[in-house]
Structure 1
Amino acid sequence: MIKVAVNGAAGRMGGRLITAIKETEGLQLTGALEHVESPMLGEDAGTTAGCGALNVPISSDLDAVLQATDILIDFTFPEVSLRNLEACARLGKGLVIGSTGFTPEQRARVDELAQTIPVVLAPNMSVGVNACFKLLKEAARILGDDFDVEIVELHHNKKKDSPSGTAVRMGEIVADALGRDYNECAVYHREGMCGARTHEEIGMQTVRGGDIVGEHTVYFIGMGERIEISHRAMSRDMFARGAVRAAAWLAGKAPGLYDMQDILGLK
């Protein structure tokens, strides 16, 4: 039995993760974490998640939870995920990170710590989105420089980072397939007399509103034709299922930094 803990257990995503763990054979919820000021401390994690009592109280004691855990799943914020990663590295525990918005410096720290423990870091845990990643690489390779590339992403009005980690990853994949540096060719803003679109740029547009779970479309726009590769998330359950699949896969793996492409065998 693989022992799994969830950080951010009282949040929307935390509840989905706890439910998915309960429903997955071979996994056991052994810990549920929240910040020290959370009003949910001491509550049963299963009851809070709406999937029935699991006799796992929500705690703020990271070390105590990790001692009884094989894998921690963290969908919070980069700074929180990094603190948890440092604790996991110190105690020899695996970590699945679904947080997005890492700075280059933060990402470098993840790479460093992943040399000592197995870590899954993915901007999107959805199986469908990762299939799109594979399709985008092939589409860009086939279409080459004859098609302009534009990316549009939509999320709920509570999302803090922009553009989404998924959209950025899509841009990186396309840029790499085209032999470009994403950081040099990405364009996030157009206004006024900004001039004609350059041939190399990859446009990135962001929409925020309501309760949109997540939508991403990559446009390959040529002369007289257009290809669109889209993914629309209808609920957060798919992210939870992907993360739980990642946790099951990660158990017993050698130290290193992995992503969903590794887990799905798409590399």
Structure 2
Amino acid sequence: MNAQPLRIGIAGLNGRVGRLLAQEVPAAGAVLAGGTTRDGRRVDGIDCPVHADIADLAAQCDVVIDFTHVSTVAAHARALATAGTAWVLGTTGLSGAEQQAVDQAATRIAVVQAANFSPGVTLVTRLARQMAAVLPGSEYDAEILEMHHRQKVDAPSGTALAMGRAVADGRGIRLEDHIESGRDGHTGPRADGAIGFAALRGGQIVGEHSVIFTSSHEQISLTHRSFDRRVYATGAVRAAHWLRGHKAGLYDMEDVLGLPRD
């Protein structure tokens, strides 16, 4: 007997990615069980129940996909854990306390958390970690360059920080102890072992990220460009389907893609 179609809810139904998710969920054979908006109003062109309260949505779903604001993360973590509803979380910029709320929820429900749901970004980030493990910081300077649309309010991007964290993990260090970001004026020479970030903004660029390793003798660059936000929506729906049948725990896109752990 075939399993019932997966019931997926969308937190932030009227957002840029939320609207794309509303198209991708049924296209992937799942049921769009509902969504949330701040005021609970329906979204033009999207036919599904709409709620103002995440708990009401969670009660109707097997999985909730969440690309909302960092301020909602702790409340969403509590509501989804209480309902026993799996969670695909793409919100970035979490504080230590907010990440702790996600970790706590993952003791009760299955959670896929990622800064970026593009398969290509997942692979570039993994390669960056592997390269950093064999290219010592004393010889290879690591820089991360990102560019996004002019409306983006945070810098560096969550994806850029995830790539920087991968470089740090590969070198067995903490990113927070080695990050160099927003250089301006007379900064002095580059610190040995630093992981540098540069953020560019302009136009309507969806997302460009490069991880660059430079030594005295060579340079290696890993670059990813997103042309359409739909790649994030299709990746998140793929993660939602992957969660079915998985036990409580905190997972990422490497798990979804079936990549072996380093």
Q: What TM-score results when the alignment is normalised by the length of structure 1?
A: 0.91
Ranges in structure 1 where 5+ consecutive residues have no aligned partner: 49-53
- SS in structure 2 at match of 1:144: coil
Mark the CA change 1:70 to 1:191 in structure 2 (over 3 Å): closer, same or farther. same
Cα deviation, 1:121-155, whole Å, max 9, x if unaligned, reads 10000000001012112221232232111111111
Q: Separation in 1 of the partners of 2:43 and 2:178?
A: 48
Tell me the distance in 2 between the aligned counterparts of 1:79 and 1:220: 35
Q: CA deviation at 1:213?
A: 0.7
Residue 201 of structure 2 corresponds to: 208
Which portions of structure 1, spanning 4 or more consecutive aligned residues, are displaced by more than 6 angstroms? none
Cα distance in 1, alignment partners of residues 104 and 74 from structure 2: 11
- Identity of counterpart residues, as a percentage? 37
Deviations 1:196-218 (A, max 9, x none): 11221111111122211111001
Letter in 1 for 2:33: T
Which residue identity is paired with 1:151? I
What's 1:240 paired with? 233
- Paired with 1:150 and 1:257, the residues of 2 have a C-alpha distance of 28
Match of residue 31 from structure 2: 28
- 1: distance between equivalents of 2:77 and 2:51? 18
Choose the corresponding residue for 2:212, options 219, 224, 228: 219
Whole-angstrom CA distance in 2 between matches of 1:118 and 1:141: 30
Establish whether residue 139 from structure 1 lines up as the match of residue 143 from structure 2.
no
| Aligned counterparts of 1:212 and 1:79: Cα–Cα separation in 2 | 25
Shift of 1:62: 2.8
1:71 maps to which residue?
63
> How many angstroms apart in 1 are the aligned matches of 2:43 and 2:95?
34
2:7 equivalent to 1:14? no
Q: Report SS of the residue matched to 1:193.
A: coil
What one-letter code is carried by the residue in structure 2 that aligns with 1:83?
Answer: A
Q: Secondary structure at the match of 2:143?
A: strand
Residue 167 of structure 1 aligns to a residue in which SS?
A: helix
> Would you say 1:199 and 2:192 are equivalent positions?
yes
Residue 159 (str. 1) matches residue 152 (str. 2): yes
Instruction: Supply the RMSD in Å over aligned alpha carbons.
Output: 1.5
Counterpart contact for 1:156–1:208, Cα < 8 Å: yes
* SS of match in other structure, 1:30: strand
Q: 1:209/1:252 Cα in 2 relative to 1: closer, same or farther (>3 Å)? A: same
Give the equivalent residue in structure 1 for 2:143. Answer: 150
Structure 2: tracts of 5 or more residues without a match: none
Q: Which residue of 1 aligns with 2:9?
A: 5
Instruction: State the AA in 2 paired with 1:7.
Output: A
Structure 1 residue 100 and structure 2 residue 72: aligned? no
Aligned to 1:87: 79
**Equivalent residue for 1:111?**
103
For 1:111, the aligned partner's letter is D
Distance 1:234 1:176 in 2: 28
Counterpart for residue 176 of structure 2: 183
1:43 positional shift: 4.3
Deviation (angstroms), 1:112: 1.5
Number of residue pairs matched? 255
Give the Å deviation of 1:176: 1.5
Give me the whole-angstrom Cα distance separating, in 1, the residues matched to 2:11 and 2:23.
14
